[in-house]
Structure 1
Amino acid sequence: MSTPSAIRIAAVLSAEHRGRLMAHAREVNFPEGAKLFDEGGPAQTFWIVRSGTVTLEIPLPGRRTPAPVESLGPGELVGWSWLFPPYVWQLSAEAMTPVRAYEFDGATVRMLMDADPAFGSAIGHWVGRVLAVRLHQTRTRLLDLYSPRSAG
């Protein structure tokens, strides 16, 4: 489900800004089936996938299982809610395969963004582009699930 419009960090941030961000990365691993976060929970971290697949999901009324919105792979951002108050997850995320990722503390990155306006602008534009793609993907998925089918 990953789209050609997926916004990978290497395609958006300059080498300088990537290096500055990556200096604060911590390597983590998630086994297949692990929940990275649930909708409504506190959004304090975010990840960049190194390997594996993470699926973003949205809980739907009257359904036992959430609907997948998008699958994310290497180089892609998992989580944007850490950047915007009240810092609460808007979707859920699950490792569909074993996942290796870089993990970042949202408060630390926000502090770095505030201290360096050029860095802050670059990160803000990157996350904004990711958010625009995710919003489109979510809308498309919900239309697939809920729009009436034309007859014939």
Structure 2
Amino acid sequence: MATSRHLFLAMPPDRRRRLTDIAVEVSLPRATRLFEEGHRADHFWIIRSGQIVLDQRVPGRRAAVVETLGRDELLGWSWLFPPYLWHFGAETVGPVEAVEFDAKVVRALCESDPILGRAMYRYVAETVADRLHGTRVRLLELYGPQGSGLDP
């Protein structure tokens, strides 16, 4: 499920430059582990191409894939909320091109520039809300009563 807006489009035009100045283009090979559940969240990414799976540890089993993210989607929101620890793990499915941000630098920008900060928090909140909605729909499809009104 794609978010409604790309990060840079969510920013007021005069604030976009501040983010593009600190963005780093990265190329990630297949099966690159970006982060682990419970570890420090110190970066985030906007996916340009390719796919990344979010997974969650399951005791005694392989990690369960929770969601697959793709083009123009935000990878990572735990960096914005204390205690800045990842809630999931993430790994590339194939080669990925992305824009990487240093979370500490972006948090400092958000603190020093309330307009940029408000736009960033809104973008992340909309992303989280969109993903929560998608999760609810998937849960209803799996566990909801027959005739729940959802189209196949």
- Whether the TM-score (by the shorter chain) exceeds 0.5 is yes
User: 1:117 deviation in Å?
Assistant: 0.5
Alignment counterpart, residue 110 of structure 1, candidates 101, 107, 110: 107
User: 1:142 deviation in Å?
Assistant: 5.3
TM-score, scaled to structure 2: 0.82
Q: Pick closer, same or farther for the CA change 1:51–1:4 going to 2, 3 Å.
A: closer
Runs ≥4 residues deviating over 6 A: none
Q: Which residue in 1 is equivalent to 2:118?
A: 121
User: 1:41 deviation in Å?
Assistant: 1.0
Q: Distance in 2 between matches of 1:142 and 1:63?
A: 21
Q: Distance in 2 between matches of 1:94 and 1:6?
A: 23
Q: Which residue in 1 is equivalent to 2:150?
A: none
User: 1:19 deviation in Å?
Assistant: 2.4
User: 1:48 deviation in Å?
Assistant: 0.9
Q: Which runs of 5+ in 1 are unaligned?
A: none
Q: State how many pairs are aligned.
A: 146
Q: Which residue in 2 is equivalent to 1:40?
A: 38
TM-score, scaled to structure 1: 0.82
What amino acid sits opposite 1:125 in the alignment? R
Q: Which runs of 5+ in 2 are unaligned?
A: 147-152
Q: Pick closer, same or farther for the CA change 1:72–1:122 going to 2, 3 Å.
A: same
Alignment counterpart, residue 24 of structure 1, candidates 11, 14, 22: 22
User: 1:51 deviation in Å?
Assistant: 1.5
| Structure 1 SS opposite 2:110 | helix
